[in-house]
Structure 1
Amino acid sequence: MVIAPHGRVVVPVLAAVGGSGRSTVAGLLGVGLAQAAAGVVLDLAPRLASPWPTWATEPGTGLASVPPDAPLSRRHVLAAATRFPAPAGAGWHVLTDHQDWSAPPLALPEAPAAWHQLAAIGGWQAVIADTAHPVAHDIVASRAAGGSGLTAAWCALPVSVPVLCAAATASGMAALQTALTAASADGLPLDRMVVALVSTGDGRTPAPVRAGETMLAPRVAAVVRVPFDPDIRARGLRDAARLGSGSLQAADQLARAVLGSAHTSWGDPLPPATQPAAAPLQIQSVQPVERVLLP
Structure 2
Amino acid sequence: MELPLHSRLVVPVLAATGGSGRSTVAGLLGAALARAAPSVVLDLAPRLASPWPGWTREAGAGLASVPPDQPLSRRQVQAATARIPGLGGSSLQVLTDQREWSAPPLRLPDAPAAWYQLAAIGCWQAVVADTCHPMAHDLVASRAAGRSGLTAAWCALPVSVPVVCAAATGSGMAALQTALSAAAAEGLPLERIVVALVATGDGRAPAPVRAGETMLAPRVAAVVRVPYDPDLRAHGLRDASRLSTRSVQAAEQLVQAVVTSARESWGDPLPAAAQPAPAVSRTPSHVHPTEKVLLP
CA apart distance, 1:32: 1.3
CA apart distance, 1:67: 3.8
- Partner of 1:291 in structure 2? none
Q: Which stretches in structure 2 are left out of the alignment for 5+ residues?
A: 280-294
CA apart distance, 1:156: 0.2
- Partner of 1:121 in structure 2? 121
- Partner of 1:43 in structure 2? 43
Q: Indicate the SS of the match to 2:237.
A: coil
1:34 corresponds to 2:34: yes
Matches within 5 A, 1:212-227: 212-227=212-227
CA apart distance, 1:68: 4.3
Q: Residue 192 of structure 1 contacts residue 265 of structure 1 at CA under 8 Å; is this kept in 2?
A: yes
CA apart distance, 1:35: 2.1
Using the aligned pairs only, state the percent identity: 75
- Partner of 1:71 in structure 2? 71
Q: Distance in 2 between matches of 1:226 and 1:76?
A: 35
- Partner of 2:266 in structure 1? 266
Matched to 1:182, the amino acid is: A
Q: Residue 61 of structure 2 contacts residue 98 of structure 2 at CA under 8 Å; is this kept in 1?
A: yes
Q: Indicate the SS of the match to 1:260.
A: helix
Deviations 1:150-185 (A, max 9, x none): 000000000000000000000000000000000000
- Partner of 2:154 in structure 1? 154
Matched to 1:141, the amino acid is: A
Q: Residue 9 of structure 2 contacts residue 126 of structure 2 at CA under 8 Å; is this kept in 1?
A: yes
Q: Which stretches in structure 1 are left out of the alignment for 5+ residues?
A: 280-293
- Partner of 1:83 in structure 2? 83
Q: TM-score, normalised by structure 1?
A: 0.93
- Partner of 1:94 in structure 2? 94
Q: Distance in 1 between matches of 2:204 and 2:67?
A: 49
Matched to 1:6, the amino acid is: H
Matches within 5 A, 1:17-32: 17-32=17-32
Moved over 3 A (4+): none
Count of residues in Structure 1 that have an aligned counterpart in Structure 2? 281
Residue 69 and residue 185 in structure 1: after superposition, are their counterparts in 2 closer, same or farther (change >3 A)? Answer: closer
1:136 corresponds to 2:136: yes
- Partner of 2:14 in structure 1? 14
Q: Distance in 2 between matches of 1:243 and 1:236?
A: 10
- Partner of 2:253 in structure 1? 253
Q: Residue 72 of structure 1 contacts residue 278 of structure 1 at CA under 8 Å; is this kept in 2?
A: no
Q: Distance in 2 between matches of 1:217 and 1:32?
A: 23
Q: Distance in 2 between matches of 1:77 and 1:278?
A: 15
Q: Indicate the SS of the match to 1:224.
A: strand
- Partner of 1:192 in structure 2? 192
Q: Residue 121 of structure 1 contacts residue 278 of structure 1 at CA under 8 Å; is this kept in 2?
A: no
Q: Distance in 1 between matches of 2:195 and 2:150?
A: 18
- Partner of 2:230 in structure 1? 230
- Partner of 1:62 in structure 2? 62
Matched to 2:113, the amino acid is: A
Q: Residue 7 of structure 1 contacts residue 125 of structure 1 at CA under 8 Å; is this kept in 2?
A: yes
Matched to 1:30, the amino acid is: G
| Root mean square deviation, CA, Å | 1.2
- Partner of 2:174 in structure 1? 174
Q: Residue 161 of structure 1 contacts residue 258 of structure 1 at CA under 8 Å; is this kept in 2?
A: yes
CA apart distance, 1:91: 1.7
Matched to 1:128, the amino acid is: V
CA apart distance, 1:69: 4.1
Matched to 2:59, the amino acid is: P
CA apart distance, 1:277: 2.7
